[in-house]
Structure 1
Amino acid sequence: MKILVTGKGGREHALITALSESPQTHELYSYPGSDAIASLATRVDVAGLPELIQWMKDNAIDLCVAGEEAWLVKDRGLANLCAEAGIPCWGPYKESAQLEASKIFAKRFLQRHGIPTADFTIATTAAEAKAALNRFPIVLKFDGLAAGKGVAVCPDRAEAEAFIDDVLEKRIFGAGDLLIEQCLSGPEISIFVSVCDDQYQILMPARDYKRIGDNDQGPNTGGMGAVASRQLATPELMQQIENEMVKVTVQGLQKDGLKYRGFLYFGIMLTPTGPQMLEYNCRFGDPEAEAVMPMVRGDFANYVFEAAKGSLNPELIQFAEGWSICLISASAGYPASSRNGDVISGLETVQGARVYHCGTRQNTEGQFETNGGRVLAVVAQGNTREEARDKAYAESKKVTFDGLQRRNDIATMHFE
């Protein structure tokens, strides 16, 4: 089978690795991919989405797997164009991908279908947004894709107004409205679901750490680490989430005529009064994918292929017991900026752990160097959380580069 994965980061590196470890040997391709991914998948060099669709047709690609979210909503939509070309795509149509692309679309969907979520208002101007600041802390969300940086949890008016000015006056994320949301409290959990029309399968739960600094201090990032384990949630909690959120979401998609085949991420806050939906992502999370994918057993490639064609077969994959811990190493200046070109040392010394490349490139000497905000994910597994955490930190510390940023409390915070 010929499989193409869109994207270039750690999530895609993890997905392609899982596809490569499926029982049968498949021809793997990536667009645009990275120098690290190129060791597993042939990189495709085309100008844009229409050209990619034509390339897939010309090369008889059997399956397209959507890694990153941008292509799902760009132009006429990756999945839409794949359908027109007769190529099975594991990723939702553009209309359905609005669940991630528009925070307001998602909140209205949640409200319409009675799924528990925080109260909210919508502002189109800075003046409207500032007038709606009636309690603190408060959550502000840009209505669009912003690489995980369009959300701010503001403890006071000064910080909230500064973010409002950035979003609605300076337009740092481009055009779009602002969602003003009640701030919920409690630990978060990420629930990943394979959705195939009216069928679904709940995968291994995970938890990510979004702030740059220890103890959840500093600005939001795309994610500084993640844990994955079935032990993150009790069977009773998982049943509640399935009944109140997953099942209702899949039914809601059907009722609204939104065709969905692909991974669907449920970002959930476990509040004192019960689970509340924070957000949807229309693909696997990052860095949660790097934590979850090493736990997959079975025939992942055929699982995705059959599901993309309309038949979800949960028996094709299983998940290992125990824990998986992912640690992100970020570049100097991240998340406000990122410094490229710092040479990475120690990659060859990592043992018993996986290294996924999030933002790297090879220089003329063949050395990997930084090429983005989040640079590397080092991932280790263990029978216990402590065993997996200690292994991940021990191996991660072997990898260094100038300006490296890494949290010290992944898999410790929220568990004490």
Structure 2
Amino acid sequence: MNILLLGSGGREHALALKMSQSPLCGKLFIAPGNAGTSQCGTNVNMGVSEFDKIKSFCLENGITLVVPGSEEALVNGIYDFFVQDEALKHIPVMGPSKVGAQLEGSKAFAKLFMERQGIPTAAYREFDENNYEEGVAYIKEHSLPIVLKADGLAAGKGVVITSNHDEALEEFSQMIKSAKFGDASKKVVIEQFLTGIELSVFVITDGHTYKILPEAKDYKRIGEGDLGLNTGGMGAVSPVPFADAAFMQLVEDKVIRKTIDGLSKEGIIYKGFVFFGLINVGGEPFVIEYNCRMGDPETEVVMPRLQNDLLELFVAVNEGKLSSQTIYTDPRAAATVMLVSQGYPEAYEKNKVITNIPAPTHDQIVFHAGTRHDGDKVLTNGGRVLAITSLADTLALALVHSVQTANQIEFEGKTFRRDIGYEFI
């Protein structure tokens, strides 16, 4: 198989490494990729939503599978672009249709879907310019805290939680009146605040059946003890200790099965990954959000624990034979520590030289996120730079090993959290 993987982060390095290990893998191209993905295949200077360039590249290079890593290409309709093009429709795209991707692309779409399918989620209302004053009145009467979500994609930054009515009104105004998140906040979903502990659950589906992958928990705050600004993720752990067999059975019965059955019943084409952002409220799972792809940095703990051939799973999805597959999971715990640039998630500098990156072993892999090559040097090229994933018999030991390597790797302004998984250790 000749594969084109779209994306440039730690998730894409983890997917690229996993696919490159398959005997089914012929040529692997990553667009645009990073310094780490270049060790798994060939990087291509091409954007994930440059569909015409992607078409030409696929035809010129005999691509037989396209794997979108991030949500952008999926929400923009890359699946439909391929299916509707005579020259491309023979090439499977491992992801949902544009309508299916609206599970992530529109909070309002996802909420209405959950409502129709009886899937547990927080109570909500949606507002836009047309009913703005209703929204103001709603906020004034709303219990605290108040959760405001930009309806569309906002690079993980479109959610505001506040314990102050005046702050909530100001954020609401900024989102709708001042386009704080651009078109993403033309519509705003206001949600009930749920108290509990979060986790991420992933499935792969052919649109009718599904297989559950290892679960994970990520850590969004920049500071230790979950303090400070929200980021794209400072680390992750897998497995999640409270996600025992009984809880996961509830997740499957109340969330996963209803979601996949609902997509099928509503005629929504969906092949690929579904990410369930869940919260455990008193032992009951509620959906906070859907994503139409794998998470980041969760992929960096899920893929090392997944013992299946990933390309075999993709073939089974494409052929509608996923039900015949069995998922095999490494029993060890995985802990990922993310090295980020000083100043992230706000202003930060790039092009800092990175040294002392160790070679991968059976117990540890350093995934590249925001990196690039400059000759023989590896330079920083983003806010999140490297994801260090260690596997060990216990979560505590896995974290120790990841932190040791985090101390070893050097670049100017290096920042990381030493307490990933703290509430379980």
Q: What TM-score bracket applies, with the shorter chain setting the length? A: over 0.9
Q: Distance in 2 between matches of 1:399 and 1:102?
A: 39
Q: Distance in 2 between matches of 1:177 and 1:26?
A: 44
Structure 2 counterpart of 1:50: 52
Residue 411 in 1 paired to residue 415 in 2? Answer: no
Structure 2 counterpart of 1:3: 3
CA contact (8 A) 2:196 2:279 kept: yes
Residue 299 in 1 paired to residue 303 in 2? Answer: no
Q: Distance in 2 between matches of 1:303 and 1:140?
A: 37
Q: Which amino acid aligns with 2:145?
A: P
Counterpart of 1:233 in 2: which secondary structure? coil
Structure 2 counterpart of 1:103: 107
TM-score between the two structures when normalised by the length of structure 2: 0.92
Task: Please list, as runs of the form range in 1=range in 2, the aligned pairs for 1:318-329 lying within 5 A after superposition.
Answer: 318-329=328-339
Task: Please list, as runs of the form range in 1=range in 2, the aligned pairs for 1:228-377 lying within 5 A after superposition.
Answer: 228-229=238-239, 231-272=241-282, 274-312=284-322, 315=325, 317-348=327-358, 352-364=363-375, 366-377=376-387
Task: Please list, as runs of the form range in 1=range in 2, the aligned pairs for 1:101-250 lying within 5 A after superposition.
Answer: 101-125=105-129, 127-133=133-139, 134-175=142-183, 176-229=186-239, 231-250=241-260
Q: Which amino acid aligns with 2:119?
A: I
Q: Which amino acid aligns with 1:239?
A: Q
Q: Distance in 2 between matches of 1:216 and 1:130?
A: 30
Q: Distance in 1 between matches of 2:65 and 2:52?
A: 16
Residue 83 in 1 paired to residue 83 in 2? Answer: yes
Q: Which amino acid aligns with 2:81?
A: L
Cα 1:400–1:131, aligned 2, differ >3 Å: closer, same or farther? farther
CA contact (8 A) 1:119 1:181 kept: yes
Note the alpha carbon deviations across 1:95-135, whole angstroms, 9 max, x for none: 10000000110011111111000011112146554432212
CA contact (8 A) 2:148 2:188 kept: yes
Structure 2 counterpart of 1:32: 32
Counterpart of 1:178 in 2: which secondary structure? strand
Q: Distance in 1 between matches of 2:173 and 2:356?
A: 42
Q: Which amino acid aligns with 1:65?
A: V
Q: Which moved more, 1:228-237 or 1:266-275?
A: 228-237
Q: Which moved more, 1:4-13 or 1:219-228?
A: 219-228
Counterpart of 1:88 in 2: which secondary structure? coil
Counterpart of 1:215 in 2: which secondary structure? coil
Cα 1:316–1:87, aligned 2, differ >3 Å: closer, same or farther? farther
Structure 1 counterpart of 2:405: 395
Structure 1 residue 21: deviation in Å? 1.4
CA contact (8 A) 1:296 1:317 kept: yes
Query: Which of 69, 72, 81 is 2:71 aligned to?
Result: 69
Structure 1 counterpart of 2:98: 94
Q: Distance in 2 between matches of 1:44 and 1:326?
A: 27
Taking only aligned residues, the RMSD between alpha carbons, in angstroms, comes to 1.9
Counterpart of 1:109 in 2: which secondary structure? helix
Q: Which amino acid aligns with 1:118?
A: A
Counterpart of 1:243 in 2: which secondary structure? helix
CA contact (8 A) 1:63 1:305 kept: no
Structure 2 counterpart of 1:59: 61
Note the alpha carbon deviations across 1:122-165, whole angstroms, 9 max, x for none: 12146554432212112111111112111122222344344334
Structure 1 residue 212: deviation in Å? 1.5
Count the aligned residue pairs: 412
Structure 1 residue 73: deviation in Å? 1.8
Cα 1:300–1:142, aligned 2, differ >3 Å: closer, same or farther? same
Structure 1 residue 314: deviation in Å? 5.5
Cα 1:172–1:297, aligned 2, differ >3 Å: closer, same or farther? same
Note the alpha carbon deviations across 1:194-214, whole angstroms, 9 max, x for none: 111211111111111112222
Structure 1 residue 346: deviation in Å? 2.1
Q: Which amino acid aligns with 1:148?
A: G
Q: Distance in 1 between matches of 2:6 and 2:225?
A: 34
CA contact (8 A) 1:22 1:298 kept: no
Counterpart of 1:318 in 2: which secondary structure? coil
Q: Distance in 2 between matches of 1:29 and 1:200?
A: 27
Cα 1:357–1:165, aligned 2, differ >3 Å: closer, same or farther? farther
CA contact (8 A) 1:151 1:220 kept: no
Counterpart of 1:132 in 2: which secondary structure? helix
CA contact (8 A) 1:88 1:309 kept: no
Q: Which amino acid aligns with 2:203?
A: V
Q: Distance in 1 between matches of 2:411 and 2:312?
A: 38
Q: Which moved more, 1:107-116 or 1:393-402?
A: 393-402
Note the alpha carbon deviations across 1:278-316, whole angstroms, 9 max, x for none: 000000011000111111213221221231332215636
Q: Distance in 2 between matches of 1:376 and 1:260?
A: 31
Note the alpha carbon deviations across 1:359-380, whole angstroms, 9 max, x for none: 112235x322221111110000
TM-score between the two structures when normalised by the length of structure 1: 0.94
Q: Which moved more, 1:13-22 or 1:133-142?
A: 133-142
Q: Distance in 2 between matches of 1:254 and 1:390?
A: 44
CA contact (8 A) 2:337 2:418 kept: no
Q: Which amino acid aligns with 2:125?
A: T
Cα 1:165–1:370, aligned 2, differ >3 Å: closer, same or farther? farther
Q: Distance in 2 between matches of 1:338 and 1:131?
A: 39
Note the alpha carbon deviations across 1:206-235, whole angstroms, 9 max, x for none: 111112222222222111111012755111
Residue 384 in 1 paired to residue 390 in 2? Answer: no
CA contact (8 A) 2:211 2:327 kept: no
Q: Which amino acid aligns with 1:405?
A: T
